[in-house]
Amino acid sequence: MKEKNQKNFSALCGLEINQAEATATRCHMSLLDMFAFPFIQRALIAGVLVSLCAALLGVPLVLKRYSMIGDGLSHVSFGALAMAVALGFTPLYFSIPVVVAAAFLLLRVADSPRWNSDAAIAVVSASSLALGVLVISKTSGMTTDVDNYMFGSVLAMSKADVALSVVLCAAVLTLFLLFYHRIFAVTFDESFSRATGMRVERYNALLAILTALTIVLGMRMMGAMLISSLVIFPALTAMRIFRSFRGVTLCAAVTSVACFCVGLTVSFAWSTPVGATVVTVNLALFLLACGASALRRR
Amino acid sequence: MEHTDLIVCRDLSLGYEGHSVLSGLNLRVRSGDYLCVVGDNGSGKSTLLRGLLGLLPPLSGTIQRAAELERGAVGYLPQQTKAQRDFPATVEEVVLSGCLNQKGLRFFYTAAQRSRALMNLGKLGVLELRGKSYRDLSGGQQQRVLLARALCAASRLLILDEPVTGLDPAAAQDLYKTLNYLNRKEGMAVVMVTHDLHPALRDAGTVLHIGHGGTFLGTPAEYLASPYGRRFKEAGSFLERKEPKEL
């Protein structure tokens, strides 16, 4: 894995090769030195912000039973990314509109009584995955690209990604600060909210757009197969521990950011892929929370 | 007490995508009324509620709603969803969300809204549950909390969609007693869709039967004498013997 990482490093970030090699051979370095690398700085900033957004958006998504939408969107973003690279577009500019459109589609499917919604989402997921793999195999071939898209790479975050994640995070935080009570009401009971004159569709659409953006931004670092867990795990963990909506929301945000930081550090120290490491840290915390809530109930 | 019109429906047809589910309905809900909507499955009871709530525009005919019911000031008790039963939220958070339609873009609820929420919890006898998590409550308690939320949203009209589904008989009786109290003592108009005909015939002032064979609107006594009611009377005659006073 270390060798492969090194190869990725040299392939992907010209100037940082020397630093990357230094990473591979580090023996006298302390963990704090990892922040000297620009790519780690970018990964840290973007990762923390994306984790925060994912956790906040994840709470209403999980509670509304829309978790599968998050998963479906990450598969769609894989397909979109593969197409963007094949067609020579800037990945973000191409992926964002495609994934936002998919988010609207999946939301409609999930709410429509005429559709078998989880089957429909599974079909969309598998199809976009298949199309993505086909496109890649016909263009650049099944190389490290596929591996990187599927399972993420710590080197993937560019300066533009960092800037976009700052904007996204500002948008998500503003949404939650201004509309916290409305988000709660819509999440808890759509029918009641509608009857009291709230425009429920607007909130759902806004949630879908922001989730789509979060997933597109996060997927190249975390990996298309793994990014949806960033949306789902923190909310699940927080629901084990807290009983109020406010508690769950705050706890999910803190948990998610903490897990990302721990995951990034561990992945650096042991040269493991960052996406998988972060998800494993999330899983560990979730299991701990399950244990704690089981103990408390006894 | 003065009886003003809250909702007046004239020759109303409701339906989806041009297909009418319900047609030719004339209905008047006045303050202090207690109307039970009964009927077969799929006959359009829920569609009617959506119409009364203003969520479904009429295909033809009119629905006039009193000015005080505009801006969504209707107390609605929808059917509970599966996702709600284990929702992590305190009772207070749930009840306060009923005050949202009077709230601007402020982040915090006002003291007046908080005391209104607590008052309604007290009225329904669940004040001591306010710090508890909604998911830890029994079905009957959850229904009371949702009723308190509905009371926060509106003070004149309650619209309930099958409120006793999933409740045990004792909890259902409790809920009917509470509704009766709100209707008699507080002058709250109640419109309730139910499958449970006994309370409908005991407490309601008016019964609306919607069926594939036609609609019927009248007092419970008239309903029992009608062909629709007679069918029920025969089917439920064994119950009648047990509870002769209540019918």
- Mean pLDDT of all residues belonging to chain B: 80
Nearest by CB: B72 against A191, A197, A247: A197
Tell me if A17 is assigned to some domain: no
What pLDDT does residue B104 have?
61
Tell me if A11 is assigned to some domain: no
How far, in Å, are A79, A101, A108, A118, A130 from residue A127 at the CA level?
9, 16, 18, 14, 5
What are the strands, taking DSSP E only, across chain A? none
What pLDDT does residue B241 have?
43
What pLDDT does residue B2 have?
55
CA dihedral (B193, B194, B197, B200) positive or negative: negative
Distance CA B47, CA B60 (A): 14
Tell me if A250 is assigned to some domain: yes
Nearest by CB: B78 against A177, A181, A191: A191
Tokens of B232: 């029920």
Nearest by CB: A239 against B76, B88, B97: B88
As a whole number of Å, the end-to-end CA separation of chain A is 44
Nearest by CB: A244 against B88, B101, B146: B88
Asked if the Cβ–Cβ distance from A191 to B88 is below 8 Å, we say no
Asked if the Cβ–Cβ distance from A182 to B153 is below 8 Å, we say no
Tell me if A18 is assigned to some domain: no
Amino acid at B65: R
What pLDDT does residue B239 have?
46
Enumerate the β-bridge partners of residue B35.
B191, B206
| Sheet of strand B206-211, all strands in order from the earlier edge strand to the far edge | B75-77, B157-161, B189-193, B34-39, B206-211, B214-218
ipTM above 0.85, yes or no: no
3-state helix, strand, coil in chain A (%, to 5): 85, 0, 15
Nearest by CB: A181 against B53, B71, B100: B100
Q: Is A245 on the interface with B (CB under 8 A)?
A: yes
Tell me the per-residue pLDDT of B85-137, one tens digit each, with 9 for 90 and over.
889 999 999 999 888 876 565 677 888 888 888 888 888 888 888 889 998 88
Nearest CA in chain A to B154: A196
Asked if the Cβ–Cβ distance from A64 to B55 is below 8 Å, we say no
Tell me if A15 is assigned to some domain: no
SS3 A207: helix
Q: What is the CATH number of the domain that holds A184?
A: 1.10.3470.10
Among all chains, which residue has been given the structure tokens 């009077």? B102
Amino acid at B17: E
Task: For residue B229, give the nearest of B38, B3, B29 by alpha carbon.
Answer: B38
What pLDDT does residue A279 have?
94
DSSP state of A35: G
Name the CA radius of gyration of chain A, rounded: 19
Is the pLDDT confidence value at B11 over 80? Answer: yes
Q: Count the Cβ atoms, other than its own, within 10 Å of residue B214.
A: 10
Q: Give A165 to chain B, closest Cα distance, Å.
A: 25
Confidence tier at B236 by pLDDT (50, 70, 90):
low
Tell me if A6 is assigned to some domain: no
Q: Is A188 on the interface with B (CB under 8 A)?
A: yes
How far, in Å, are A72, A292, B179, B200 from residue B204 at the CA level?
49, 49, 10, 5
B119 sits in the region (left: phi over 0; alpha: psi -120 to 50; else beta) called: alpha
DSSP state of A29: -
Angle at B236 between CA B235 and CA B238, to 5 degrees: 115
What pLDDT does residue A27 have?
46
Tell me if A22 is assigned to some domain: no
Task: For residue A274, give the nearest of A44, A52, A30, A21 by alpha carbon.
Answer: A44
> Which residues from chain A sit within 8 angstroms of residue B84, using beta carbons?
188-189
Nearest CA in chain A to B106: A178
Asked if the Cβ–Cβ distance from B83 to A63 is below 8 Å, we say yes
What pLDDT does residue B244 have?
44
Asked if the Cβ–Cβ distance from A197 to B103 is below 8 Å, we say no
Q: Is B238 on the interface with A (CB under 8 A)?
A: no
Task: For residue B17, give the nearest of B57, B52, B53, B64 by alpha carbon.
Answer: B57
Is the pLDDT confidence value at B79 over 80? Answer: yes
* CB-defined contacts A:B, below 8 A: 89
Confidence tier at B235 by pLDDT (50, 70, 90):
low
Report the pLDDT averaged over residues B150-163.
85
Nearest by CB: B87 against A63, A191, A246: A63
Chain B interface disruption, residue of A111, A183, A188, A242, most B CBs within 10 A: A188
Amino acid at A73: L
This prediction has a pTM of 0.84
Report the pLDDT averaged over residues B192-207.
81
Q: Give A190 to chain B, closest Cα distance, Å.
A: 9
Q: Count the Cβ atoms, other than its own, within 10 Å of residue A244.
A: 19
Tokens of A31: 């963990």
One digit per residue, pLDDT tens: chain A, 298 residues?
444 444 444 444 444 444 544 454 554 456 777 778 888 889 999 999 999 999 999 999 999 888 888 889 999 999 998 888 888 888 888 889 999 999 988 888 887 777 777 888 889 999 999 998 888 888 876 666 677 788 888 777 888 889 989 999 999 999 998 889 989 999 999 888 888 878 888 888 888 899 999 998 888 888 888 888 999 999 999 999 999 999 999 999 999 999 999 999 999 889 898 999 999 999 999 999 999 999 988 7
What pLDDT does residue A12 have?
44
Give me the half-sphere count of Cα atoms (radius 13 Å) on the Cβ side of residue B172.
Answer: 15
Asked if the Cβ–Cβ distance from A198 to B94 is below 8 Å, we say no
Is the pLDDT confidence value at B47 over 50? Answer: yes
Q: Give A99 to chain B, closest Cα distance, Å.
A: 26
Q: Is B74 on the interface with A (CB under 8 A)?
A: yes
Asked if the Cβ–Cβ distance from A197 to B159 is below 8 Å, we say no
Tell me if A29 is assigned to some domain: no
Task: Tell me if A37 sits within 8 A of A19, measured CB to CB.
Answer: yes
Q: How many domains does chain A have?
A: 1
Distance CA A203, CA A209 (A): 10
What pLDDT does residue B247 have?
40
Structural domains of chain B in order of their starting residue, each with its CATH number? 1-74+161-247 (3.40.50.300), 81-153 (no CATH)
**Strands B34-39, B189-193: pairing kind:** parallel
Q: Is A185 on the interface with B (CB under 8 A)?
A: yes
What pLDDT does residue B245 have?
43
Distance CA A204, CA A179 (A): 13
Q: Is B85 on the interface with A (CB under 8 A)?
A: no
Task: Tell me if A61 sits within 8 A of A252, measured CB to CB.
Answer: no
Is the pLDDT confidence value at B234 over 90? Answer: no
Distance CA A50, CA B234 (A): 64
Tokens of B128: 């001591």
Confidence tier at B26 by pLDDT (50, 70, 90):
confident
Confidence tier at B230 by pLDDT (50, 70, 90):
confident
pLDDT: which is higher, A154 or B36: B36
Chain B interface disruption, residue of A63, A183, A189, most B CBs within 10 A: A189
Asked if the Cβ–Cβ distance from A180 to B107 is below 8 Å, we say yes
Distance CA A263, CA A281 (A): 6
Q: Give A183 to chain B, closest Cα distance, Å.
A: 10
Structural domain span for residue A90: 37-297
Q: Dump the DSSP string for chain B.
A: ----EEEEEEEEEEEETTEEEEEEEEEEEETT-EEEEEE-TTSSHHHHHHHHTTSS--SEEEEEE-GGGTTT--EEEPPPPHHHHT---BHHHHHHGGGGGG--S-SSPPHHHHHHHHHHHHHTT-GGGTTSBGGGS-HHHHHHHHHHHHHHH-SSEEEEESTTTT--HHHHHHHHHHHHHHHHHH--EEEEE-S-HHHHHHH-SEEEEEETTEEEEE-HHHHHHSHHHHHHHHHTHHHHHH-TTT-
Asked if the Cβ–Cβ distance from A244 to B90 is below 8 Å, we say yes
Tokens of A77: 């973003």
Enumerate the β-bridge partners of residue B65.
B7
Distance CA B229, CA A294 (A): 52
Q: Is B114 on the interface with A (CB under 8 A)?
A: no
Tokens of A58: 């994840």
What pLDDT does residue A233 have?
95
Q: Is A193 on the interface with B (CB under 8 A)?
A: yes
Distance CA A160, CA A164 (A): 6
Asked if the Cβ–Cβ distance from B100 to A65 is below 8 Å, we say no
Q: Is B107 on the interface with A (CB under 8 A)?
A: yes
Distance CA B62, CA B74 (A): 19
> Which residues from chain B sit within 8 angstroms of residue A182, using beta carbons?
100
